[in-house]
Amino acid sequence: TQRTKATDRRGNADELHQGAARGGPVMTTAQGAPLADDQNSLRIGDRGPTALEDFVLREKIFHFDHERIPERVVHARGYGAHGYLETLEAIPELTRAAIFQRRGIRTEAFVRFSTVAGNLGSPDLARDVRGFAVKLYTPEGNWDIVGNNIPVFFIQDAMKFPDLVHSVKEEQDRGWPQAASAHDTFWDFISLMPEATHMVLWTMSDRAIPRSLRFMEGFGVHTFRFVNASGEATFVKFHWKPRQGMQSVVWDEAVKINGADPDFHRRDLWNAIQAGDFPQWDLAVQVFDDEFADSFDFDVLDPTKLIPEEVLPVRVIARLTLDRVVENVFSETEQAAFCTQNIVPGVDFSNDPLLQGRNFSYLDTQLKRLGSTNFTQLPVNAPRCPVAHFQRDGHMQMSLQSGRANYEPNSFTGDQRGPRPDLDGGFRSAQVPENGDKRRIRAESFADHYSQARQFFRSQTPVEQEHITDAFVFELGKCEIPAIRTRMLANLRNVDESLASAVADGLGMPLPSASPAAVAPREDLPAS
């Protein structure tokens, strides 16, 4: 009977294989050798050992063994889609970026949305910041706006990023939580870092549990620079405004959805695009000069601060449309490598110390994550414009680097010569004066940690304020160490007394005295 069953199985497989060979491509090894059998390893006799010479089996298992690459150290869980950016307003007076020289220019785009703390398999509706990373394949190279759905960040200096991330990720002794901020180490760190207070108010708000990736804003967060053809620079902040509007779920819904459908957000984006309901965002900018920057008490280089839109309205310059799902999540979404240092002529950095650190971090981590300096050649990362340089070799070199010279200067001509820099059209950094002593110090202008947190809380409707209060009670209620809760309450007193006492009530704790604030929070800011 055994023998008959085995023969039957082989019979069915043969039939399937012949069908595939007739109707579709023939299965091959990675070297291209056509296969006759994908069911059985090469064995000696009916019940004997497997032969070492079975290159078909060994190659298949070898490749499978190496399928996983490291997940992103942060923003591991994400979902991407293709689309395009359409320029709505030409702004040559602000930037020489090719895509803003004429209305109507269409630029290919790839976007990856993500949560920050959770691992690759974590649920979509965790209370968390959402990444909003956009790659624009411009005619002058790739421009990445690697932003979030919250306009400010937890920390002011890149030096603290590893600490922030260690505190929010699963605790090293117990291995949880895998996707939540409601635990001791996160709140311990936050309570000791008053600069995080503003962002924490946002993450306790409904912004951190979006109804859909389609219904959220995006922000470049840092102050960047635009540079025009005459070399004149202005400051700029980038905003993505969803044309669908903004929607969030409430916490009860988030918890249920996470249990019932942890893929809720990715499914929603996929379904909308497949149904032809293409999500759109307006790209808007806040542009300002040094004089305007100096008019604030806070520093525009401080990523824990925003410039209220009431003070400086946003100006819409382009529209992003997502109209194509990926064909392969690994090849596209997972292998996509965004980096803040990917800018184009007409765009430049500011001295924001968080941005400066990010510019190092992304390329560095991607070498480890993707395994080769040549990841820029992967289809999702490859510029759509010509690329020519003397960077050579490396693991997985996929481009045929022809010509004779691979150095510069050289005296060869024609095909043998290779590329030369373009003195007129090439990228030039904004010429801004810099001076000062080299030292490790936090500027006084970065010292006010509470005024904008207060402004944010007071700008919320009563229901939204209730949600923030409930979120603090829930999250701090998960902290096992009472001193952490007390320290957070002491910080919250600097934000808003009613918030601090409502959270204390919810936790059943007495209200401690307010923590000392380096700069007294301002009372007079309009609720924006």
Q: Which residues bind ligand HEM (CB under 6 A)?
A: 72-75, 78, 112, 114, 131, 133, 146-148, 153, 158, 161, 221, 303, 336-338, 354, 357-358, 361-362, 365-366, 369
Nearer to ligand HEM, 162 or 419 (CB): 162
The CB-of-75 to ligand HEM minimum distance in angstroms stands at 3
How many CA atoms lie less than 13 Å away from 63 in the CB half-sphere? 8
Query: Residue 144 corresponds to which tokens in the numbers above?
Result: 């990445």
The CB-of-432 to ligand HEM minimum distance in angstroms stands at 22
Residue number, nearest CB to ligand HEM: 131
Residue 246 and residue 216: Cα distance in Å, rounded?
A: 5
Closest Cα partner for 381 from 119, 63, 108?
Answer: 108
Residue 65 and residue 60: Cα distance in Å, rounded?
A: 9
What distance lies between CA 206 and its chain's CA centroid?
Answer: 20
The CB-of-150 to ligand HEM minimum distance in angstroms stands at 8
Quick one: which H or E segment has residue 269?
helix 264-274
| Catalytic position from the list 142, 148, 381, 491 | 148
The CB-of-179 to ligand HEM minimum distance in angstroms stands at 15
The CB-of-162 to ligand HEM minimum distance in angstroms stands at 8
Whether 119 is catalytic is no
| Contact by Cβ (8 Å): 350, 326 | no
Residue 424, phi then psi, degrees to nearest 5: -90, -45
Closest Cα partner for 156 from 202, 205, 199?
Answer: 199
The CB-of-500 to ligand HEM minimum distance in angstroms stands at 27
Closest Cα partner for 16 from 39, 40, 33, 32?
Answer: 39
Whether 75 is catalytic is yes
Residue 25 and residue 140: Cα distance in Å, rounded?
A: 38
| Catalytic position from the list 12, 17, 66, 75 | 75
Residue 38, phi then psi, degrees to nearest 5: -115, 15
Nearer to ligand HEM, 78 or 345 (CB): 78
Nearer to ligand HEM, 114 or 494 (CB): 114
Query: Residue 160 corresponds to which tokens in the numbers above?
Result: 């603290």
Which residues does 528 contact at the CB level (< 8 Å), separation at least 6? Answer: 308, 309, 310, 311, 455, 456, 459
- SS3 per residue for 441-499: CCCHHHCCCCHHHHHHHHHCCHHHHHHHHHHHHHHHHCCCCHHHHHHHHHHHHHHCHHH
**DSSP string spanning 403-431?**
SS--SSS----GGGT-----TTTS-----
Q: What is the separation, in whole angstroms, between the first and last Cα of the chain?
A: 79
Residue 293 and residue 25: Cα distance in Å, rounded?
A: 62
The CB-of-71 to ligand HEM minimum distance in angstroms stands at 8
Nearer to ligand HEM, 101 or 119 (CB): 119
Nearer to ligand HEM, 112 or 183 (CB): 112
Residue 410 and residue 432: Cα distance in Å, rounded?
A: 32
Residue stretches of the annotated binding site for heme: 72, 112, 161, 358, 362, 369
Nearer to ligand HEM, 320 or 500 (CB): 320
Query: Residue 198 corresponds to which tokens in the numbers above?
Result: 């503003």
Instruction: Give strand ranges (E) for 88-192.
Output: 106-115, 130-138, 141-148
Nearer to ligand HEM, 131 or 279 (CB): 131
Residue stretches of the annotated binding site: 72, 112, 161, 358, 362, 369
The CB-of-503 to ligand HEM minimum distance in angstroms stands at 26
Nearer to ligand HEM, 355 or 499 (CB): 355
Enumerate the active-site residues. 75, 148
